[in-house]
Amino acid sequence: MKAVQYRRVGHAPEVVEVPVPEPGPGQVLLKVTAAGICHSDLAVMGWPEEQFPYPLPMTLGHEGVGTVAALGSGVTAVAEGDAVAVYGPWGCGRCPKCAEGKENCCPHAAGLGIMPPGLGSPGALAEYMLVDSTRHLVPLNGLDPVQAAPLTDAGLTPYHAIRRSLPKLLPGSTAVVIGVGGLGHIAVQLLRALTPARVIALDVSAEKLELAGKVGAHETLRSDGEAAARVRGLTGGIGAEVVLDFVGAEATVAVAAASVAVEGDVTVVGLGGGTLAVGFGGGLPFEVSAAFPYWGSRPELMDVLALAREGLVSAHVETFSIEEAPEAYERLHAGDIAGRAVVLPQG
Ligand code: NAD
Ligand code: ZN
């Protein structure tokens, strides 16, 4: 089968031929119907050799949807032909966090060598993929696979990030979304679907700001040195109750800190390497809460798929064949993908 692999640190991903894996006990083999391409993969492929944490070569892709193609021994919870989405942040399955479905917070996964598909384990950018447990499958129940693939990360991660702030997103409140890419354009829709907040979107690209307006942002602003002052101007000097930063660079966390209101939330989702000083004298308004969430829980993925089924969120996608996946990564790197790039491994 064809697979898109990161093979050597510092080199572009390649499309290669590898054997179709066989499901072991408890495992499920999926025929991958759609796989999204996330900016995190670019971050991973930018890490230096001495800090690279995963075995290479590694099949990429942590946003996957497929149909069940074969069952390992003992698997009864799904049947061949079932259409499912893959819940990616795999945990140990035995601890209290995992029992709550919060495998993204499993404290044992790393120590046990359990790694998400595409981020250590073989991922979804292939014709077939192995899923280690039916715990990590969520039924599509009629949802379009091309739509569903981005929702497993680009939908789930903003949903999880926004949920922590729902009590602050009251009538008259403001939410700022910094970076309206794969995650950000779904964040705008989630904010509109779940809250009465006014949504202000910031980006460096006019095209992305146009998309932000189309998917529901009330205001769109260029992300530059004036952005925080403009957010304050639009909020009567108060600032935004919630700022979600989907870039996470030094410059954007500074905008987030300068835009947030007293008692507000700053949530840094992007892996841009910027850090925020929390504490008296750090520059944040009093009572601000800061967080850097990781992916989301399995029940939250079910929620996001339900929102999509209701037509309340939809991913803006551009599709690629598996041979075109390296080009999709190049285009994402160049800032030239609006919404999400989705690879269709079956052609
Ligand atoms: P993307 O490339 O699709 O979108 C990034 C957007 O940010 C683009 O629209 C780009 O124009 C914009 N941007 C770049 N610089 C900017 C600036 N200075 N100000 C405002 N906007 C700017 O990326 P994505 O796939 O949506 O991922 C977004 C970030 O979230 C990445 O850093 C990714 O690694 C991270 N991520 C984190 C998690 C998590 O669990 N915390 C999960 C998935 C992705
Ligand atoms: Zn991702």
CATH class of 2-140+316-344: alpha beta
Q: Which two structure tokens, joined as six digits, stand for 189?
A: 């829709």
What pLDDT, on a 0 to 100 scale, did the predictor assign at position 278?
95
> Closest ligand 1 atom, CA of 39?
25
Among all ligands shown, which has an atom nearest to the Cα of 211?
1
- Name the residue with tokens 């639009």: 234
What pLDDT, on a 0 to 100 scale, did the predictor assign at position 310?
97
Amino acid letter, 327: E
What pLDDT, on a 0 to 100 scale, did the predictor assign at position 94?
97
Kindly state if the Cβ of 247 falls inside 6 Å of ligand 1.
yes
- Name the residue with tokens 């140990």: 92
> Closest ligand 1 atom, CA of 248?
32
Report the alpha-carbon distance of residue 216 to residue 318 in Å, rounded: 20
Report the alpha-carbon distance of residue 281 to residue 264 in Å, rounded: 17
How confident is the model over 85-137, as pLDDT tens digits? 999 999 999 999 999 999 999 999 999 999 999 999 999 999 999 999 999 99
What pLDDT, on a 0 to 100 scale, did the predictor assign at position 347?
85
Kindly state if the Cβ of 220 falls inside 6 Å of ligand 1.
no
Write out the residue limits of the CATH 3.40.50.720 domain(s) in the chain. Answer: 155-291
Q: What is the mean pLDDT of each run of 10 residues along the chain (347 residues)?
A: 98 98 98 98 97 97 98 98 98 98 98 98 98 98 98 98 98 98 99 98 98 98 97 98 98 98 98 96 96 98 98 98 98 98 96
CA 239 – ligand 2 centroid, Å: 29
CA 270 – ligand 1 centroid, Å: 5
Report the alpha-carbon distance of residue 210 to residue 205 in Å, rounded: 9
Q: Are 244 and 267 in contact (CB under 8 A)?
A: yes
Write out the residue limits of the CATH 3.90.180.10 domain(s) in the chain. Answer: 2-140+316-344
Kindly state if the Cβ of 194 falls inside 6 Å of ligand 1.
no
Which residues are CB-contacts of 97 (< 8 A; sequence separation ≥ 6)? 91, 103, 105, 106, 107
CB-based burial, 145-161: b 16+ in 10 Å, e otherwise: bbbbbbbbbbbbbbbbb
What pLDDT, on a 0 to 100 scale, did the predictor assign at position 257?
98
Kindly state if the Cβ of 36 falls inside 6 Å of ligand 1.
no
Alpha helices by DSSP H, listed for 137-205, are 145-150, 156-163, 182-194
3-state secondary structure of 311: coil
Q: What is the end-to-end Cα distance of the chain in Å, rounded?
A: 13
3-state secondary structure of 111: coil
Report the alpha-carbon distance of residue 241 to residue 199 in Å, rounded: 11
* Residue whose CA lies nearest to ligand 1 atom number 30: 270
Q: What architecture is the 155-291 domain classified under in CATH?
A: 3-Layer(aba) Sandwich (3.40)
Among all ligands shown, which has an atom nearest to the Cα of 317?
1
* Residue whose CA lies nearest to ligand 1 atom number 23: 39
CA-angle at 148, arms to 346 and 35, nearest 5°: 40
Pocket test for ligand 1, best of 47, 151, 204, 224 (most atoms within 8 A of CB): 204
> Closest ligand 1 atom, CA of 339?
3
Kindly state if the Cβ of 186 falls inside 6 Å of ligand 1.
no
Cα–Cα distances (Å) from 92 to 16, 138, 161, in that order, read 31, 18, 23
Q: Are 88 and 62 in contact (CB under 8 A)?
A: yes
What pLDDT, on a 0 to 100 scale, did the predictor assign at position 263?
98
Strand partners, 251: none
- Name the residue with tokens 């790197």: 333
> Closest ligand 1 atom, CA of 269?
41
Pocket test for ligand 1, best of 63, 178, 202, 203 (most atoms within 8 A of CB): 203
CA 41 – ligand 1 centroid, Å: 11
Cα–Cα distances (Å) from 223 to 200, 201, 228, 259, 276, in that order, read 11, 9, 9, 12, 18
* Residue whose CA lies nearest to ligand 1 atom number 31: 270
Report the alpha-carbon distance of residue 68 to residue 28 in Å, rounded: 7
| Backbone angles phi and psi of 75, in degrees to 5 | -85, 120
* Cα–Cα nearest to 133, from 78, 61, 59: 78
CA 260 – ligand 1 centroid, Å: 19
CA 247 – ligand 1 centroid, Å: 4
> Closest ligand 1 atom, CA of 296?
40
Q: Are 242 and 267 in contact (CB under 8 A)?
A: yes
Kindly state if the Cβ of 181 falls inside 6 Å of ligand 1.
yes
Q: Are 347 and 321 in contact (CB under 8 A)?
A: yes
3-state secondary structure of 277: coil
3-state secondary structure of 329: helix
CA 150 – ligand 2 centroid, Å: 9
pTM assigned to the model = 0.98
CA 37 – ligand 2 centroid, Å: 8
Q: Which two structure tokens, joined as six digits, stand for 331?
A: 């285009």
DSSP letter for 216, please.
Answer: T
Report the alpha-carbon distance of residue 41 to residue 60 in Å, rounded: 8
